[in-house]
Amino acid sequence: MKLLLHMCCAPCSTYSTGHFRRLGYDIHGYFYNPNIHPYKEFLRRRDALKEFCQNEDIPLDVSDSYDLEDYLHMVMEDMSSRCRYCYRIRLEEAAQQAAKMNIPWFSTTLAISPYQDHELLRLEGEEAGRKHGVSFIYEDLRPGYRESVEISRKLGIYRQPYCGCIFSEKERYLK
């Protein structure tokens, strides 16, 4: 069973890929994350993920699209919905990619994070799937979060200190 897995970063992909493989899925990774700020951080996360996928023999398609201006414009229109929009653009892109590749299922490594809104993530994934004729597989991967931290440290994978967007970076460092 083929699964397109939207990957936000290498650390979140460690446990997530193992989980889906144990469920019998043949994983094809997809990196599309125009929310990551600054650009050097985007490149660092992308490159760490490429290395992880190469080492784990996971095919990975990378979108180097960095539509930061479009992302910020949409988010600034309604700050209370910034996470919804962020999930939407990434999951829409992943669903579209899965449909283009004739992969019937897709999911996301975002589901491992205890810092994400899981109900909103599930709703946006299901809507993106309906729109593009593929099925969103929601798995609550949060129980594997600590293990993903341990795996990434053991493998020496770059671990970022915030979710990715400029707003989460601000929240992280103002604490």
pLDDT at 82: 81
Round to whole Å and give the CA distance between 145 and 15: 8
Q: Give me the pLDDT at residue 163, please.
A: 73
H-helix or E-strand spanning residue 10? helix 10-22
Query: What residue spans define the domains of the chain?
Result: 2-174
Report how far residue 72's alpha carbon sits from residue 166's, in angstroms, rounded to the nearest whole number: 9
Contacts of 85 (CB under 8 A, 6+ apart): 71, 74, 75, 78
Report, at the CATH architecture level, how domain 2-174 is classified.
3-Layer(aba) Sandwich (3.40)
pLDDT greater than 90 at residue 63: yes
Q: Residue 152: what pLDDT?
A: 95
pLDDT, residue 149, reads 96
Q: What is the pTM of this model?
A: 0.93
Q: In which band, very low, low, confident or very high, does the pLDDT at 73 lie, cut at 50, 70 and 90?
A: confident
Q: What length is written for the chain?
A: 175
pLDDT in tens, 16-32: 999 999 999 999 999 99
**In the structure, what pLDDT confidence band is assigned to residue 74 with cuts at 50, 70 and 90?**
confident
Instruction: Flag the least confident range among 14-23, 37-46, 86-95, 102-111.
Output: 37-46
d(CA 148, CA 112): 9
